[in-house]
Amino acid sequence: SLEAIGAPYLHLISYIVVIASAVQLVEMFVKKFSPALFRALGIFLPLITTNCAILGLALFQTSREYNFFQSLVFALGAGTGFTLALGVMSGIREELDFADVPKVIKGTGIALMVAGILSMAFMGFAGMGG
């Protein structure tokens, strides 16, 4: 157990990693053995992985034992932050389509770099609460 090694805070991350990994394995399996089913379900499989973030927020909120009002504010803040992050990321990805990105990091590589830089920028919001 994670409590035994002094890392109970990793529960949420471990749930999300397990679910996301399982979805990716299913996606690879379906893509290889049933291309027709993959074409039919193609867009929905990555959405399941995205739902892991929502599950993580729900588990995080319940572990804090917020009351109704605190839960409502938390949910609105999380939704606003998620929407803001998606909007910024999609805008940057559209701009990168017109940029001269080296072939080595084009696609996933540059997306991960942008996500890392954005996460550092969003960490600035953590200090705004006082």
Model pLDDT for residues 21-34, shown as the tens digit of each residue: 888 888 888 889 98
Q: Are 56 and 12 in contact (CB under 8 A)?
A: yes
Domain spans in the chain, listed from the N-terminal domain onward: 1-65, 66-130
User: In which residue are the tokens 């990805």 written?
Assistant: 93
Least confident of 30-34, 56-60, 113-117, 126-130: 126-130
Identify the three-state secondary structure at position 101: coil
Angle at which helices 11-33 and 44-64 pack, to 10 degrees? 170
Under the banding of pLDDT at 50, 70 and 90, the label for residue 129 is low
Tell me: pLDDT of 1 over 70: no
Across the range 41-68, mean pLDDT stands at: 78
pLDDT at position 8 is 73
Q: At a CB cut-off of 8 Å and minimum separation 6, what does 43 contact?
A: none
Helical spans, DSSP H, in the chain:
11-33, 35-41, 44-64, 68-97, 108-123
User: Residues of the chain with pLDDT > 70: what percent?
Assistant: 96
- List, in order, residues 6 or more apart from 113 with CB less than 8 Å away: 105
Q: Is the pLDDT of residue 54 over 80?
A: no
For residue 122, give the 3-state DSSP assignment: helix
Does the pLDDT of residue 69 top 90, yes or no?
Answer: yes
Rg of the chain taking only CA atoms, in angstroms: 18
Residue 115 corresponds to which tokens in the numbers above? 């996500």
